[in-house]
Structure 1
């Protein structure tokens, strides 16, 4: 490796960089060796007692969990909502399904030998677009307030009153949304100072008078630390939300010396290999059908033979069911009736008497019917909410068509900043193809 150009200096800089690299290489290699040794050899495609849905942000995971995975298990088997922190005893879970934005390091808190893992991955460029859009969308909801102070103070009062969990408590939005909110208010104040009442633009991703442009967003430190290569770091257990003490040092070293990312990628790929199921956002419906055919029968069999079904319906108390605040509650005057997997559904309270009926009705065909009926209204409500949110920063109006106007130079930079995620996604496509073959074998035998 040529260290002379690392800091743009001479031999002193090169010597210092070389020492840093040697130290970083040791840190990363030791972590990777330990992580690979912890991987349990065996049949990862056999469902264990607990299923952990490792929800990578902006992969369609909310729809996937709410309309599919949760339908397979039923509300009575879902663990208390744990997107901000674990809300049940992980060593003695009386539930079978947990979904969070936590990274893989949460496995250190769970009974590893009795836990299966699944995830859904998305093409990195689309995921970065979506992370930008969602950060702006949620932050823009606060623009109904006269100023930033009013917005933040009211948010604190609402959160203190309801004792619930909102988007502002959940990684990575607890970092991205407040930061973007502050930026939006600053830009609105600047418009008022200039007397700008209307801005005209054909590029929704570069309306700097209204919102931070995409090309600026992708280079901000908080985005570099939470979004870029986020799927790889999440599967590897190395996000800035990790339970591992060494996660910060490993991630910092990989970001400083990109060649060390090979070790992180190797661990992430191994973990994907050992997962029960890997879905793809780009093939959402096909992934759903595959999950139901490959995993669904195992869930049904597991529940049917479970002698501990008695009392499972009691694991979700009223407090747990209402432990999550909707975004609209935090947005004060901004009220929406959007469907959210953060709110209890009509099936949350499942009586013990109904459990036998659930087991009988949980067929592959029935689950797919419910999935199809669920996704349309959920996506429609999300679309309506986005439209209403973005009115505050018009003419910014994010869409697939608007993405086509983003310059190739910006797209290329996103690819460069997400080189690990691009390779992990390609690897996941290979796993998906093998799962597809296995599904066809199952349905034809």
Structure 2
């Protein structure tokens, strides 16, 4: 073999060796990289599993500590303090103005009920707490002396109403040229007013500024021509050049944190406004691991079971009647025992208003010269005329309620129309809701799956309450009802008058039959 051939063979052998070694190194590196990736993935999976088990332990321990086993016999008996847990947008405002303020005096209202920072249950004769605070407020109240009532609403309707009210209140600020003007107005008014602003109240202290900022941003964008113009017949829930579309609203992190499953978290005492120290950790775990939500749901269900009264927004008339009989009658009964105290109170006794100041909320007083209207506030005012309770009955209370809500609804409708003019043509209504695509409605239901189940549970409780009232009617019918009720009233004759009429008719029929029989007998004899 020639030297050239030997050289080529050597190069070939070394080339093969280099290729082989290179392949080995690459294979080794690949294996190391592969195993490195595998180890990292394993660590991630392991870490995720550890986090789930940690969260499950946190949520389970909270649920065990929060559960109330069994139902006490006295839970349908009104205790010394009535805590109205007001779930936003369920109609609780009408109950406060048109029921509770007719049977409780201002001196009996716990001051600043809606203002968490100033809540003071230690006030003498404090017997009524009405607030958007969640169930954790019970930690500040004497539990054995407190009865809880609440109202729930169909979750889809509640989300719609929350969206609409957020836009309505935020739109009032559009009288200002910009957000700087809003801030300046607020700084001028706040030191002069003892009223509590909507922006101090959960959840509006989060939702209104968020929506307000969005409305101003869209107005600025319209002026610069950056948004497409809304078509004439567009759905008011999808007018992106005027207001935040509904589909954006429900998918925003703020909505996930506050609105979705809000009723369940409020009844469970786990809102982002909770007094419970562990609430943040429990909420965080349920957000990361939604399957743990069933623990929260069960606690909320048990708490509803232990309440004095659970109303349904959709069953408005039945709920109101039931509230009057189940709660109102007992309050009136307690009032009779404290009648001497009531006689000493004057009609002008008031507490500092717990309502937000309308002038602060929309700036209309300074800019448009409009007058305040406390009755339309989401948060009720504490200033009111004391009703005459000496002759108050359940029937009379219902008549007062019907008159009151009629007036309140007219005021609300008028103010709503005025506010929404600022974002026209976005005009919300039940009819307009029909324009929302089914996919969005389904998404709202999915995002509020816990609230959907809690609402079903509330419906079952509502049926049980109806049966209880029917079976125990004599407990709730007061003697005064029998003495003063009038058949010409809205609720018909009392039972004893109806029976008397039936008895008289029966006697007349018997007399007529007797006379008719006598005549026939005489004819036969003749």
* Aligned pairs for 1:17-416 within 5 A: 17-36=48-67, 41-85=72-116, 87=118, 89-91=120-122, 93-194=124-225, 199-200=230-231, 201-306=233-338, 309=341, 313=345, 318=350, 320-332=351-363, 333=367, 335=370, 337-338=372-373, 339-340=375-376, 342-348=380-386, 358-416=388-446
Inter-partner Cα distance in structure 1 for 2:235 and 2:261? 26
- Give distance in 2, aligned partners of 1:21 and 1:197: 45
d(CA) in 1 for partners of 2:343, 2:292: 49
Measured after TM superposition, the shift of residue 340 of structure 1 is 3.4
Distance in 2 between residues matched to 1:316 and 1:263, nearest whole Å: 47
> Does the 8 Å CA contact 1:294/1:442 hold for their aligned counterparts?
no
Higher relative contact order (CA 8 A, sep 6+): 1
Q: How far apart, in 2, do the equivalents of 1:282 and 1:45 lie? A: 23
Shift of 1:307: 7.7
Answer yes or no: is the 8 Å Cα contact 2:113–2:354 preserved in 1.
Answer: no
Q: CA deviation at 1:96?
A: 1.4
Instruction: Quote how far apart the aligned CAs of 1:164 are.
Output: 2.1
Q: 1:164 to 1:346 in 2, by over 3 A?
A: closer
Report if the CA contact (8 A) 1:159-1:330 is conserved: no
In structure 2, what is the equivalent of residue 355 of structure 1?
none
SS at match of 2:177: coil
Shift of 1:205: 0.3
Paired residue secondary structure (2:158): helix
CA positional deviation for 1:401: 0.6
The 1:166–1:10 alpha-carbon spacing in structure 2 relative to 1, beyond 3 Å, is same
Task: Give me the CA root mean square deviation.
Answer: 2.4
Residues 90 and 111 in structure 1, CA contact (< 8 A), matched pair in contact too: no
Distance 1:390 1:159, change over 3 A: same
Q: If the length of structure 2 is used for normalisation, what is the TM-score?
A: 0.77
Given that 2:68 and 2:303 are in contact with CA atoms closer than 8 Å, whether structure 1 keeps it comes out as no
Structure 2 gap ranges (5+): 1-39, 476-526
SS in 2 for 1:51: strand
Q: How many residues align?
A: 428
User: Residue 55 and residue 323 in structure 1: after superposition, are their counterparts in 2 closer, same or farther (change >3 A)?
Assistant: closer
- 3-state SS, counterpart of residue 13 of structure 1: helix
Could you report, residue by residue, the CA deviation over 1:132-155 in whole angstroms, capped at 9, with x for unpaired residues?
001111111101111111112212
Residue 21 of structure 2 corresponds to none
- Once residues 36 and 160 of structure 1 are traced to their aligned partners in structure 2, the CA distance between those partners, rounded to angstroms, is 43
Superposition deviation, residue 199 in structure 1: 3.7
From the CA coordinates, give the structure whose radius of gyration is larger.
2
Counterpart-to-counterpart distance in 2, 1:148 and 1:192: 16
TM-score normalised by length of structure 1 = 0.90
| Cα offset, 1:359, TM superposition | 3.8
1:300, distance to aligned residue in structure 2 (A)? 1.7
Greater helix proportion: 2
In 2: Cα distance, 1:229 partner to 1:197 partner:
33
Q: Decide which moves more: 91-100 or 147-156.
A: 91-100
* Contact 2:214 2:244 (C-alpha < 8 Å) held by counterparts: yes
